[in-house]
Structure 1
Amino acid sequence: MARTVQNYYDEGMARPRKFDEDRVIRAVCDEFWDKGYAATSLEDLLRVSGLGKGSLYGAFGDKRSLFLRVLRHYDDANLLSLRKRLESASRGADLVREFVLGPASDPTGAAARRGCLLANSNAELATSDPEVAAEARRSYDAITAILTEALERARREGDLAPDADPAETARAALVAQLGLLTLGRTGMDIGTLTAAAQSALARLLRAPLAPMA
């Protein structure tokens, strides 16, 4: 059953509102993601959410509070997905390759041009908003921890050099992915972006083992 937020009122209307909070969060997330924080207006948020100003602010607070909530929701969903992919991966190195190649995964280039809400928001706001910077550090630390687990497994499976440090390699994988996200936002050709990702992976991991006959 969808979660609801009840008993908020539109301006001048004496009747309770009910709405699907998850749907609103997703819609608002897409708007911030596509336009960025500064370029997203209150009118944009009201339009995509389908709520009145009183209902939106009553449920989520002001624009900044709503944005921080959306960003945390986005980050938590990505971390959960990354954790699940690690648990289902055949080999630890598979997750690392998928993670680094992610910005080039859409052959149309649309996903690369859109980028990542966290990376986009960090670039736009981290120097002026300590809470955005703190959320970025939290999320990147958690990503690094999951990648470290994957690389510890990769070392046991022979896909990472025995003397390699999994934590340092995880940070390098994160740096590589963030660089690719930045390049993808410029509209770089997907073939070129993929080649750059594969080059980074070749330096981070051993070559994949040949399949058994």
Structure 2
Amino acid sequence: MARPRKFVERDVVSSAGEVFAVHGLAATTLDDLVQATGLGKQSLYNAFGGKRELFLRALSEDREEAARAVSEALQHGDASPLERIRGHLLRMAIEFSRSDNRVSLTTRALVESTGESDQLAAVTKAGIEELAGIYAHCLELARASGDLPADANVSSLAMYFVAITRGMELLGRSGVGRGALTAVALDALRVFHA
């Protein structure tokens, strides 16, 4: 008879995700995961199938959280859709400039992805497309309200904002300060006035 599990999978995945976000998939060792999760090597293999599978599981959860956060930022309040995007970018400038900020697992996966047709590339691409879809919805609202020209390329603009936020995240992680990130956020919005 199999022993019952004495851990919460979501907690283990979250702890592993934090380690992967700091070190990346390639540099994270099984010993790192054992230390972070409190599980033994065999338990990790039995529950998740291996390091790569655990990374993909953590990446999926990080992706869901990122999509939820962006969606909430762009869907609430009485502000216009473009003002919501502006507020979101400015909040990201503050968050990404904090000294304790770490790169998200989604951004770490983007950096590590070889672009080959493997599961990591597919999950990463799906995460980017999901974020772009959330921006696109907000931009569609801006176009419908007349804040964007009728011929604006919403898909391209949505991907632009994904690129801006992921880039700001990496810049912040490398030590670029709040002032510079705020300037990037504000300059990114000038695309609407061009």
TM-score range, shorter chain: 0.7 to 0.9
Q: 1:156 is aligned with what amino acid? A: A
Partner of 2:14: 26
CA contact (8 A) 1:103 1:184 kept: no
- 1:183 pairs with 2:171: yes
Long gaps (5+) in structure 2: none
Aligned match for 1:92, one of 81, 91, 97: 81
Output the CA distance in 2 between the equivalents of 1:157 and 1:198: 22
Output the CA distance in 1 between the equivalents of 2:18 and 2:92: 17
How big is the shift at 1:64? 0.7
Output the CA distance in 2 between the equivalents of 1:158 and 1:107: 31
Q: 1:39 is aligned with what amino acid? A: A
Output the CA distance in 1 between the equivalents of 2:127 and 2:76: 21
Output the CA distance in 2 between the equivalents of 1:88 and 1:38: 38
CA contact (8 A) 2:168 2:181 kept: yes
Query: Kindly tell me: are residues 83 and 109 of structure 1, through their superposed partners in 2, closer, same or farther at Cα, counting changes over 3 Å?
Result: closer
Long gaps (5+) in structure 1: 1-6, 8-14, 207-213
Instruction: Give the helix-richer structure, 1 or 2.
Output: 2
Higher relative contact order (CA 8 A, sep 6+): 2
Task: Choose 170-179 or 71-80, whichever is displaced more.
Answer: 170-179
Q: CA RMSD in A?
A: 2.4
Question: Scaled by the length of structure 1, what TM-score is found?
Answer: 0.79
How big is the shift at 1:111? 5.5
- 1:198 pairs with 2:192: no
Query: Kindly tell me: are residues 117 and 196 of structure 1, through their superposed partners in 2, closer, same or farther at Cα, counting changes over 3 Å?
Result: same
CA contact (8 A) 1:24 1:49 kept: yes
Question: Scaled by the length of structure 2, what TM-score is found?
Answer: 0.85
Q: Quick check: which has more Rg, 1 or 2?
A: 1
Query: Kindly tell me: are residues 88 and 32 of structure 1, through their superposed partners in 2, closer, same or farther at Cα, counting changes over 3 Å?
Result: same
Aligned match for 1:109, one of 98, 104, 116: 98
Paired positions, count: 192
How big is the shift at 1:142? 1.3
Aligned match for 1:65, one of 42, 53, 56: 53
Instruction: Give the strand-richer structure, 1 or 2.
Output: 1
